[in-house]
Amino acid sequence: MTLLETYPCPKCGKAGLVYEGMLAWRHGPRPPRELARKDLELGAGGDYERENLYHCSECGAQFFEDVEQRGQIHLYEEGNGKYLYDQFTARWQHDDRR
């Protein structure tokens, strides 16, 4: 189980985020989410773009987390901006800027 699987869905608020795996690619367009793998092993020194993919088992919303971005817990929803988790209120805050 990943850390984000323990958080509620940013869209519907229900528990049930499901980790689909990681996408990794060197350059160019992002590959389709069907290529995400849970057992992905990356070679040392590689220059990869990486995203962890999730979906909500309740409402079906699809999210991704930019692995390289550190700091506040966050998820992106395709075409709908970024969600930041506020640990003081225990709620997601929507930010439509990416």
Express each pLDDT in 22-38 by its tens digit.
Answer: 999 988 899 999 999 99
Rounded CA gap, 54 and 10, in Å?
11
Backbone dihedral angles phi then psi of residue 32, each to the nearest 5 degrees: -65, 150
| Residue that has been written with the tokens 């993919």 in this structure | 53
Give the chain's domain count: 1
Read off the tokens for 5: 């699987």
Q: Distance (Å, rounded) from C-alpha 19 to C-alpha 16?
A: 10
Domain that holds residue 58: 3-95
Contact (CB, 8 A) for 37 and 31: no
pLDDT score of 43: 64
- Give the predicted TM-score (pTM) of the model: 0.86
Q: Which residues pair with 52 in a beta bridge?
A: 22, 65
With a cut of 50, list the residues of the chain below it in pLDDT: none
**3-state helix vs strand vs coil in the chain, percent to 5:** 5, 40, 55
